[in-house]
Structures are given as C-alpha cells and as structure tokens.
Structure 1
C-alpha cells in the first residue's frame, strides 16, 4: 500500500482514510473452510493462486473488480511460491488488465519500446517523470542493441521546466503498459538482465510513502509489493 506523498504519516492514519469494502463474503467463506477451484479442482482458501479465480465458496459477483488505466504485465520468477505471490491479487481484482507470466516465458517488448516502462528499484532506475519523458522520443522507432543500453543511462534533466512538463504529459499519453517483476530480491538479476527487457526505461516509484508489513528499513518510499 502507498500514500500519495512523502509526508511523515503513520500507518494508522493512512488506513483510516481507506474505503474498505465489506468483508462479510470472506468471513463467510472462511467459516466454510477450504473450497474447490472451479477451473482446476484444487482445494484452496478464498481464491486459486494458480488459476487466479475465486473458489466455489466465494461468489464471483461479490468480489470487486478494478479497471486500470494501463495494462500490467507481471513477470514471476519460477521459484517464487505461488501461494505467497501478491501478483495473484492484482490478477484477481483487475483480471482484464493484468497478465502474469512465469519466467522465462515472457513477451518480446521490442515493438512496444515507446509505450512500456519497467518498474524496478535498481541503481540505474530513473524517476517516473523522467521515464515518461523518454517514451515520446522513441515512438515509431525500433530498438537497436548495438547502441548503449538506455536503462544504464541517467536521463538528462531538461533546463526548461515547461518542456519537462510537456514531455511528461506526452509520455503519459504514450504509456500503455507497465511491467513488474515478482521475485525475491536475490532472484531478480536473471530476469532484469534478460535481453527482452533491455530496451525499456526502468523507473523507480519513490514519490509515495510505503505502508507495508513487515517493515523494511531500507526505504519508506519504494514499492515493496503489488
């Protein structure tokens, strides 16, 4: 969970502002215990983390759906435990806009370089604003692996603040898809270094305060989980 600024707010203050749907449907399902997945017939609690659907004891109509402004691709490491992966939550709530891939089976984003960004808190990541400024420059252009890898270059800041805003706005119009990596930190290197991801700008979402348990003292302003 994220709050929209870097103000020093407590987790309790943030939670009090959330509009949380009724949990009666989940409480009822919990009393019934584990139920069957309607697709694979596996025994699960609440939802099937393999098929990304509610189990039979949870009425589909009682689960809220979310329409996202962009498409989301989640690349999950094969060693990531399905039952602990939060990627399933995104797929459940926004099933039309979220696709989960298990590495190494991922798309080639070569033809989408002008409309896709990768969210990853690496040392060479740029801010969302800078990443959006990059997208319009590569519209209708093809990726060339003989050129320096763009994700390893810090984008130069424009001296003209007005142009910055314009470029970012154009970039937002270009943005069609956001890629996330679902993996433990120690397992990310193989995915992030995959050639199929090398042409996409890597951005860091650090303008939001994180309210995540268990807490991570490394940073309060970086996305820790979906």
Structure 2
C-alpha cells in the first residue's frame, strides 16, 4: 500500500496509512487497487510533481471497518483483558438468553436501595436554568455539576474512601457517567487531565486499572488503610497515556471482579466492559464487602473465649475428629460463593447504591424507548441482545398506588412475571 499525504490534507486520527480530510470526515487510502474516499466519487489530486487520477469507492463493509477502528467506549475491563488492541477484538453479545437477562437485570435493579424512588425523578419533565451558567438542564448541569431539581435528588452520600475521577479533556461531559454520580456524593471528585490529584500518596491510594501488575481487592493487605482511589474516565486508548503518567502510575493498581455492563452507548467490546460509574460502584461494593468480611473474621476470632486446658482424653478425641472443614474461620471465598459477590448481603447493605440513581434511570429509559414499538430502531453497532425484548419496565419506575392492597398485588404480580 502506498500512502501519499497531500498538501491539502492534514494528518488526523486513525490507523497507520490513513489520513483524514481537513474538510471532510472521510478517509483517503491509496492502495494498489486505487484510492478509497467517500462513496463512488471521482476526484483529481495533485502533488508538486505528479498528477494522480483515481477511481474512488468504498463499500459499507469498509466504512464499518474504519468506524470500528475509531470507536469510542468508556470504562474498565474488570479482568484486565483490555491489554489487547480493540482492532484485534471481535464484538460479542451476551451468553444468557433474553429471558435470563430480563430476570437478572430486573432483580438487580429491584434490589438497589435508592434514597429517592425513581418515579420521583420521572416526574420532572421541565428543564430548569442552571444558577451558574444559566443553561437549561433536565436533572443536573454536567458543566457546573449543580442540581436543578433538588426535590428529586438523593441526599449527599458519604463514601468509605475518597474517589478521584481523572477525566480526559476530550470526553464529552454530557455523556460522562461519572459526572452525574459526583453530584450525589461530595466524596467523588472530578479532575480534568492533565491535572491530577497530586496531594495523594502511594501508601494510601489505589488506582483501578487492569494492567499486568493489577491485583484483586482481596489480595491487598490492610485494604481498610487505603483512603483514596483513582479512576480514569476516557476511551481505552486515551487511558493508556494517563495510566503511564508518573503521577498516576505510582499508585497500586487493582482490578474488580467481572460484571455485566448496562451501558447504553455502543462499544466495540463485550458486555463486561463497564461504564465508569459502574466501575466506581462495583469497586466500592467490593471494597465494603471485603473490609467488612475481614472485620467479621476478627470479631469472630475474638469472640471465641479461651477454653481451659484440655485433658489428655479430650486431646485424643479431638485429634481423631480433626478435619480442615471443621475450622471456625470465616472464609471470604465461602462468603462470596453465591451467584456473584453481591451475594454477600451480610456484608453489603446498599451503602453506595445511590451512585447509580441517574444511570439506572437512563438505562430504563433507553430500554423503554426501543421496546415501545416497532418503529424505533437502534444502531447496529451495539452487540447483539442489548435491548431486552418482551419485558416491561414500568413497574420499576411506577409510583405506588394509593390502595396499599392493590400495590401489594402489583408487586406480587411483578415478581411472578420475572420468575
């Protein structure tokens, strides 16, 4: 393949061998078969010494390939699989069936403990003026991080440690999921790169980033002594530069368990690639669970009173009955052995669920929009099965009925509908 960079064009984003037209979003690729640019057009391009005339055409498949190379997605891969280039990864869908996903998602949302019911948020239909920038916003101003509908906003949420989100300057603030969460908790701080929270020390700061040196939270010694955690809010390619920044790379790298994302924006990877607010939520949930698990272990071991010295007969009897399973120690693996760590209801009680308040409302809204009629179509860049068919979302955002008995019947019917 021959690449010619013409004076009338500037080098742009994309892969090697591709240049972006300064006046058009199309690409120019010079190959042995000709030049690809636009759709079935002819142009004449001139350099200082030669004139080249090329028949230029590009197929839908080629355009899709170019789009996939510059696809934008947000967040984190819990198991560190993001070390591979997105160009080498194939988009895949869900392993569960539509009905199985419907049950899991409904159950997950119903078990969230929101301080304000979602129907209160749905009651807000009008946009209000932001008191700082005077732009009209629906729920909050993503530029100023101010609330315009305080009557439907959750109360300030205290987090178990300080959360710092390093936001890439090229990220669209209106589509950043972490900004909405920052309006809910004063302990969640947004820092726009190249600024970073330089006051943080490696001794008490973690960074959630799936690098080769990252470890799971249960592998971190004295986890409760860490007071800060850093997240990177950007595309995967942008996050690499931020993670290499010596001001960030000095922190201990950690990762979280694999979870399935509810993110509604299209992405080029599988559903375990989380939105930033999901990564924050699942990290904090794991953190709380792990810290409380260790605390329970210590309390359990301390509650066992020291027995009187055993007799010789007791020693022989105990030796004959001893087995590894007879230990009274509480094992985190035993605790986490249910469906997925959320599973540890004894050690997590919805402390940070409010962080997902706006996110879940948006997710339900997207699902409702694309299941309300056949006329609504969504981008085929989503992996297969994102929209859950043949299910109702109304019960999750409906206001309670005035009749208590009727409300109880509705709840029972809803439970039966999803299994």
Shorter-normalised TM-score: what interval? Answer: 0.5 to 0.7
Aligned 1:202-213 pairs, distance under 5 A: 202-206=253-257, 209-213=259-263
Q: Are residue 104 (structure 1) and residue 104 (structure 2) matched?
A: no
TM-score, normalised to structure 2, is: 0.38
The answer on whether the counterparts of 2:214 and 2:255 sit within 8 Å (CA) in structure 1 is yes
Q: What whole-Å deviation, never above 9, does each CA across 1:10-61 have from its counterpart, x for those lacking one? A: 222222322343234433322x2x2211122122221000111112xx1267
SS in 2 for 1:29: coil
What is the Cα deviation at residue 223 of structure 1?
Answer: 4.4
Q: Are residue 15 (structure 1) and residue 109 (structure 2) matched?
A: yes
SS in 2 for 1:66: coil
The answer on whether the counterparts of 1:11 and 1:211 sit within 8 Å (CA) in structure 2 is no
Aligned counterpart, 1:175? 226
Q: 1:99 to 1:60 in 2, by over 3 A?
A: farther
Aligned counterpart, 2:158? 67
In structure 1, distance between residues paired with 2:129 and 2:275: 31
Q: What whole-Å deviation, never above 9, does each CA across 1:96-126 have from its counterpart, x for those lacking one? A: 21110000011225x6111000001233321
Q: 1:15 to 1:61 in 2, by over 3 A?
A: closer
Aligned counterpart, 1:149? none
What is the Cα deviation at residue 176 of structure 1?
Answer: 0.4
SS in 1 for 2:276: coil
The structure having more radius of gyration, on CA atoms, is 2
Q: What whole-Å deviation, never above 9, does each CA across 1:174-200 have from its counterpart, x for those lacking one? A: 110010011111211111111111211
Q: Are residue 122 (structure 1) and residue 211 (structure 2) matched?
A: yes
Q: Are residue 91 (structure 1) and residue 143 (structure 2) matched?
A: no
The answer on whether the counterparts of 2:205 and 2:227 sit within 8 Å (CA) in structure 1 is yes
Q: 1:62 to 1:81 in 2, by over 3 A?
A: closer
In structure 2, distance between residues paired with 1:106 and 1:213: 26
SS in 1 for 2:123: helix
The answer on whether the counterparts of 1:205 and 1:223 sit within 8 Å (CA) in structure 2 is no
Between Structure 1 and Structure 2, how many residues are aligned? 173
SS in 1 for 2:238: helix
In structure 2, distance between residues paired with 1:25 and 1:38: 22
Aligned counterpart, 1:42? 135
Structure with a larger share of its residues in helix: 2
What is the Cα deviation at residue 218 of structure 1?
Answer: 3.6
Q: 1:15 to 1:28 in 2, by over 3 A?
A: closer
Q: 1:77 to 1:62 in 2, by over 3 A?
A: closer
Q: 1:61 to 1:13 in 2, by over 3 A?
A: closer
Aligned counterpart, 1:189? 240
Supply the RMSD in Å over aligned alpha carbons. 2.4
Which is bigger in relative contact order (C-alpha 8 A, separation at least 6)?
1
SS in 1 for 2:203: coil
In structure 1, distance between residues paired with 2:180 and 2:144: 12
